[in-house]
Amino acid sequence: MTIGESEKRERDAIRVLVVDDQQLVRDGIVSLLRVQAGLTIVGAAGNGQEALDQALTLRPDVILMDVRMPVIDGVTATAQILKQLPDCCILMLTTFDDDAYVRDALRTGARGYLLKDMPVADLAKAIFAASRGVYQLDAAVIERIVAPVGATIKPTTEQPLAPSPTRTGSVTEARLTRREQEILRLVATGATNREVAERLVISEGTVKNHLANLFSRLGLRDRTQAVLYTREQGLL
């Protein structure tokens, strides 16, 4: 590889800031990610205040943020960073899968919520995906948000469901059909568009059209919000 090619690869790499209050864990994450192609570790911080300071100085593309930390916790730091760097992508990376932490982090603007027991290769993939705007949720977190699911999914009812009055815009005017409820249930269990189509015996394009319409009517930005909405409405 020439010097020019090396410099271009470094410029194109995703710049990552690692934030964790335990130095051994922090150093381990840095070491593991440093050898992943396409990633450049630009810094490491031990608490939320350090994360804020370094984020403003280093302008990373992605921040891996722990939740429980001294000085400023991860959720508060996320809110403060995104207020000044709205295009920054922040992924929570923690050992705590508490429902309240998950909701607070996602509502604050985190691009995902991951647990530290995941393989490093999967973490790298999550960083790449999140940098492209795809929300990342650990499988265990999804289970906690929508559990129990699968065999316990309630049968659909003939009566359309009125959405939560707490949401804004046209949401209060929307009502969900039986098919829309079925699609939301399946999406909430983590099913892909293709899997939803196969389960309901419809085309993948029809699923996409339903989801686009649902997201617009309900004011949902992505599938993560759809999971939260589905649970709030008691569809699971």
C-alpha distances (whole Å) from 143 to each of 54, 67, 99, 115 are 34, 19, 10, 13
Q: Report the mean per-residue pLDDT for the chain.
A: 83
- Crossing angle, helix 178-188 and helix 193-200, to 10 degrees? 130
C-alpha distances (whole Å) from 158 to each of 124, 170, 226 are 44, 22, 21
Residue 146's pLDDT band (cuts 50, 70, 90): low
In terms of DSSP bridges, do strands 136-137 and 62-65 run parallel, antiparallel, or are they unpaired? unpaired
pTM: 0.65
Number of domains in the chain: 2
The predicted structure's pLDDT at residue 216: 84
177 and 75 in one domain?
A: no
Task: Give the Cα separation of 39 and 37 in Å (integer).
Answer: 6
Task: Give the Cα separation of 66 and 49 in Å (integer).
Answer: 12
Which range among 95-99, 136-140, 167-171 shows the weakest confidence by mean pLDDT?
A: 167-171
The predicted structure's pLDDT at residue 55: 98
Whether residue 149 has pLDDT greater than 80: no
Enclosing domain of residue 8: 3-145
* Of the residues 117, 145, 173, the one at which a domain ends: 145
Q: Which residue has the higher pLDDT, 82 or 161?
A: 82
* Of the residues 86, 120, 145, the one at which a domain ends: 145
Which range among 44-48, 120-124, 225-229 shows the weakest confidence by mean pLDDT?
A: 225-229
Residue 67's pLDDT band (cuts 50, 70, 90): very high
CA-closest candidate to residue 138, choices 159, 160, 118, 161: 118
* Of the residues 95, 110, 145, the one at which a domain ends: 145
CATH code of the domain containing 198: 1.10.10.10
